[in-house]
Amino acid sequence: MHNVILIGFMGCGKSTVGVRLSYHLRLPFLDTDKLCEQKMGKTIREAFEQDGESFFRETETEVLRDLADRKETHIVATGGGLPLRDVNRKILKEVGSVFYLRAKPETIFDRVGHDTKRPLLLCEDPMQRIRSLMEERDPLYMKAADHMIDVDGKDFRSIVREIASLNKE
């Protein structure tokens, strides 16, 4: 089982690229956020509000363990905070090739700065929150990744091609 796993900040394009890559490589697509919502029986926003972030983070690790038990190969888009836990980074390395889609804070803000489904960005100054989270997370994304792809200014088709050709090597 050698999955293709996409990591990176909220709004960097993991889900869109993941779906397109799954067509391109003819492999099924999974999204850890969706799997968490199924497992929790509620949306991520509801989980943060009702149970707290740590409940969601536990669920993310469970979902990743379930993935490690699967025999088939998948394209996997992950939630932006998933690679932060040591245990999750370890599992990611074991189950496939990890691609970090890296984007500038400005790109992220344009895409998700006003989103209401992402509890971490529901604050007075989402741009500042993006910058500080990004500073904290970038080194961990780099640590988790086998490959880093700069996505700023690139269209989805070229990102998909870049990943597909790196994945062949």
We find the least distance from the C-beta atom of residue 147 to ligand S3P, in angstroms, to be 18
We find the least distance from the C-beta atom of residue 53 to ligand S3P, in angstroms, to be 8
Closest CA to 140 of 8, 36, 6: 8
What is the chain's alpha carbon radius of gyration, rounded to the nearest angstrom?
15
Is the Cβ of residue 80 or residue 96 nearer to ligand S3P in the bound state? 80
Is the Cβ of residue 18 or residue 168 nearer to ligand S3P in the bound state? 18
3-class state of residue 96 by DSSP: strand
CA distance 111 to 156: 14
Is the Cβ of residue 54 or residue 165 nearer to ligand S3P in the bound state? 54
Is the Cβ of residue 35 or residue 160 nearer to ligand S3P in the bound state? 35
What letter represents residue 16's amino acid?
T
Burial class (CB in 10 A: 0-12, 13-18, 19+), 124: exposed
Site residues for ligand S3P per CB under 6 A: 10, 14, 33, 44, 79-81, 118-120
